[in-house]
Structure 1
Amino acid sequence: MDATWHAADFRPPPGLGNRHVQTLLPRCLPRPAVDAETEILELPDGDFVELAWAHPLPDRADAPILLLFHGLEGSLASPYARHLLHAAARLGWRALLMHFRGCGVMPNRLPRAYHSGDTADAYWLIGQLAHRYPRALKVAAGVSLGGNMLVKLVAEQGGDGLDLAGAIVISAPLELSACADTLRHGFARVYERHLLGSLKRKMTARLARGELPLTLTTRDLHALESLRDYDEAVTAPLHGFVGAEDYYRRASAGPLLGEVELPMLILHADDDPFMPPALFARLPAPSPSVRVELARQGGHVGFVEWREGRLQSWLARRVAHQLDAWGRPGGLTGWSPGRVISRSGS
C-alpha cells in the first residue's frame, strides 16, 4: 500500500538525527520562559480544567488565538508547550494551554481522568472562547495525545460545529492500539515506563482516598507493566469502555481523517519511536482539507534543528510560520494541501 504525504523541510543537525536523540533532546535544551496566568474553567459536569494564558496578553479583543492541547501527562512545563506558546505570543496571538483534567496543579474533582478520545472539555472551552472573543480568529494545536483528541473533535463536529479556523496536529498516535504495542519494544520501553510511572503516582493517591470506582488495589496498580495494562485496568473502566481494545478502537482518530472539513496541518516523523512504522500507510486517505507533512527524522515531538548558530525548535518555527500565514487576510481561504508526494509505505 502506498502512503501519500508532503515532505517536511526538517533536517536534523549532523550526528543528532537518531530518533531517540531527537525525542529526548528538547528536554536538555534551554526553553523560553513563559509567564502564564492560571484560570480555573468550570465544566458542565461539576469538574474543572486549568487554563494557562501566556503573557503578555494582546490588548485587542480580536487578536487571533492559539489554543494548545498537550500530550499524555504533559503540562505547561513540557518543552514543546513553552516553545509553541512563546512563538505564538511573539506573533501577537493570544496563546493558552488547556491542562487535561488532573494535569494542572490541582487534582480534578470527579472520579474520572482524561483520555485520548475525550473531546467534551475541549469542545466546551472552544465554545467559551467563541463567547468571549467572537471576532477573533482561532486555531487549535494538539500534541501527541492532544493531537489525536483534536483530530477526533474536528472530525466529529464538521466544518460548522466549532469556532475554529484551523488545526495543527503534532506527533499524534492516530492508531492507539498499534502505538501501545510499539511502546512495548526496545528503547521505547523507557518512554512507556516514564509515562506509566507518572500515571501510577496520580492514581495511587486517589485510590488510597477511595475516590475512584475501581476494584483494583494500589498493589494491583503498581503491578501493571504496560500502558495497555493501565488502560485495561484504569482508563477503560473509569470512562465507560469495555476494555483497552474497545477504548483504542473508539478513541483512535486515524479512521476519521477523511471526515475532517477544517484546514488541518499534520506534522509527523517517520521515525517516531512511539508509532508503528509507516503509520499513515495504515490509515485511510485524509480529506482534501488535510495537509500531512512527514519528516524522515524527528523522533516524537522532537524536531530539533541547527539554526543561527545554535540548536533550536524547528517545530516552533514551522508552527509559527503556519500561524503567521493563517493570520493574514485571506490566509485560510487560500488554504490548499498542495502537491502530494507519494512514497512506499514499507
Structure 2
Amino acid sequence: MADPWHTADFRPPAGLANRHVQTLLPRFLPRPAVRTRQEILELPDGDFVELAWAHPAPPRADAPILVLFHGLEGSIDSPYARSLLNAAARLGWRAVLMHFRGCGEHTNRLPRAYHSGDTADARWLIDQLSQRYPHAMKVAAGVSLGGNMLAKLVAEQGGNGLDLAGAIVISAPLDLAACADTLSQGFARVYERHLLASLKRKMSPRLARDELPLAIGAEELASLGSLRAYDDAVTAPLHGFDGAEDYYRRASAGPLLAGVSLPMLVLHADDDPFMPPALLGRFPTPSAAVRVELTRHGGHVGFVEWRDGRPSSWLARRVARQLEAWAAPDGLATWPYDRPISRSDS
C-alpha cells in the first residue's frame, strides 16, 4: 500500500514564516483580475445558490472543469478564490465557485444556512454540471470549511458516486470540535471574533424578521462569545443536530479519509492557527487514493512564497500543477511529486 504522507515543496520567504503572517498576508497581496459571470442555481428544496463562473469560458464543451467551494463566510472575494479560479482558467479549464447559501449577494429563501457537513448542494451542482457537460473531466477543490465538506461528500458517495475525476482539500478543519477549541485560544481568538461577527451580521436581521425557527433572540445572538457557542445555539438546531457536539461529530470528515476511493490531494500546514498541531495524525491512515502533503509553515490558507521577485501564491501554483497532472493522459494514476515522510512527521 502506498504511503499517503508526503512533504510539500512549499518554502516561505525569509522572515515571513510566522503562522499568523502567512494567514493574513494574502489579504494584502494583489489578486488576479478575474472577470466572473454570475448564475443563480435553483435547488430541489426551493432555495438557491449563487455561482461565479470565470469569464470568458473555454469554447469547447469538453473543456475540463474546476469546481471551487469556499470556507466559512467566504465568497468570490476571498483572497484564495480569484487566485485558484485564475490558475484554472489560465490552463484552459472552465472554473466556477459555488457560494454556500447566503454567502453571495442575496439572502437565501429558506429558514436555514449552511454548515461544514452540508453536502447536498455541492452534490446537486456536480450532478447539474454532469448533465450540462457530460464529456468534460471535473475536479473539485474545497478550502477550509469547503474542504471538510468536500472530503465528506467524496467519502460518502464513493468512487463511482460522483462525476469527479479528483478532489483537492485545502486547510480543512477535519476535526471540527478540536478546531473550534483551538480557535478559542490565544491569538486565534482574533480569527474567531472576525468569523463570529460576520455570522452574526447575517443572522441578526433574519432573527429580527422572525424568519428562523430558533429559540434565541437578537440580544442572545449578540452575546454569543465563541464559534462553539454559536454552533450550539444556531448552526446545530437550524440544521437538525442535537447541539454543537453532535454537529461536530457527524460533520467532521477526518475519520472518513480511510474510506475515500477517489483520487484526493490534501494540503495542510502543521502551523495552521485554526487547528491543533498534528491534526492529520488524529485519524486512521487515509486510503491509497489519498495523498496528504504537509508543510511546517503556511498558516491557514496562506502558503505565500517568494517567486519571480515578489510574494506569490504557492497554493495556486500547486493546484495548477495538480490540474495539469490530472488532465494529462493517464494523469489520474500519478502525482507530480513523490517525497514520502514518516507518519510521525504529521
Interval containing the TM-score (normalised by the shorter chain): over 0.9
* Separation (CA, whole Å) in 2 of partners of 1:63 and 1:199: 36
User: Identity across aligned pairs (percent)?
Assistant: 78
The answer to which of 163-172 and 278-287 deviates more is 278-287
Counterpart AA for 1:219: E
Q: Which residue of 1 aligns with 2:107?
A: 107
* Superposed displacement of residue 330, structure 1: 1.3
* Superposed displacement of residue 289, structure 1: 0.2
Counterpart AA for 1:308: D
1:167/1:264 contact within 8 Å kept:
yes
Counterpart AA for 2:293: E
Render the CA deviation track for 1:81-138: whole Å, top value 9, x for unaligned.
Answer: 0100000000000000000000000000000000000000000000000000000000
* Superposed displacement of residue 345, structure 1: 5.5
2:66/2:93 contact within 8 Å kept:
yes
Q: Please state whether the residue corresponding to 1:15 is helix, strand or coil.
A: coil
Q: Please state whether the residue corresponding to 1:16 is helix, strand or coil.
A: coil
Q: Which residue of 2 aligns with 1:209?
A: 209
* Superposed displacement of residue 340, structure 1: 2.8
Q: Which residue of 2 aligns with 1:332?
A: 332
Q: Which residue of 2 aligns with 1:184?
A: 184
Kindly indicate whether residue 13 of structure 2 is the aligned counterpart of residue 13 of structure 1.
yes
* Separation (CA, whole Å) in 2 of partners of 1:342 and 1:262: 23
* Superposed displacement of residue 338, structure 1: 4.7
Counterpart AA for 2:26: P
* Superposed displacement of residue 329, structure 1: 1.6
Q: Which residue of 2 aligns with 1:140?
A: 140
Structure 2 residue runs without a partner (length 5+): none
* Separation (CA, whole Å) in 1 of partners of 2:303 and 2:336: 24
* Separation (CA, whole Å) in 1 of partners of 2:227 and 2:86: 31
* Superposed displacement of residue 336, structure 1: 9.3
* Separation (CA, whole Å) in 2 of partners of 1:185 and 1:277: 13
Q: Write the mapping of 1:282-301 to structure 2, written as runs, cut at 5 A.
A: 282-301=282-301
Q: Write the mapping of 1:71-150 to structure 2, written as runs, cut at 5 A.
A: 71-150=71-150
Counterpart AA for 2:312: Q
* Separation (CA, whole Å) in 2 of partners of 1:331 and 1:282: 30
Counterpart AA for 2:305: E
Counterpart AA for 1:266: V
Counterpart AA for 1:299: G
* Separation (CA, whole Å) in 2 of partners of 1:212 and 1:282: 36
Summarize the Cα distance change of 1:150–1:20 in structure 2 as closer, same or farther, 3 Å threshold.
Answer: same
Say what the alpha-carbon RMSD is for the aligned residues. Answer: 1.3
Render the CA deviation track for 1:114-164: whole Å, top value 9, x for unaligned.
Answer: 000000000000000000000000000000000000000000000100000
Q: Please state whether the residue corresponding to 2:305 is helix, strand or coil.
A: strand
* Superposed displacement of residue 335, structure 1: 5.3
Q: Which residue of 2 aligns with 1:322?
A: 322
2:4/2:288 contact within 8 Å kept:
no
Q: Which residue of 1 aligns with 2:157?
A: 157
1:290/1:337 contact within 8 Å kept:
no
* Separation (CA, whole Å) in 2 of partners of 1:304 and 1:14: 11
1:288/1:337 contact within 8 Å kept:
no
Render the CA deviation track for 1:205-225: whole Å, top value 9, x for unaligned.
Answer: 100111000110100000000
Q: Which residue of 2 aligns with 1:174?
A: 174
Kindly indicate whether residue 237 of structure 2 is the aligned counterpart of residue 237 of structure 1.
yes
Kindly indicate whether residue 281 of structure 2 is the aligned counterpart of residue 281 of structure 1.
yes
* Separation (CA, whole Å) in 2 of partners of 1:27 and 1:36: 20
Q: Please state whether the residue corresponding to 2:332 is helix, strand or coil.
A: coil
TM-score, length of structure 1 as denominator length: 0.97
Summarize the Cα distance change of 1:43–1:337 in structure 2 as closer, same or farther, 3 Å threshold.
Answer: farther
* Separation (CA, whole Å) in 2 of partners of 1:260 and 1:193: 34
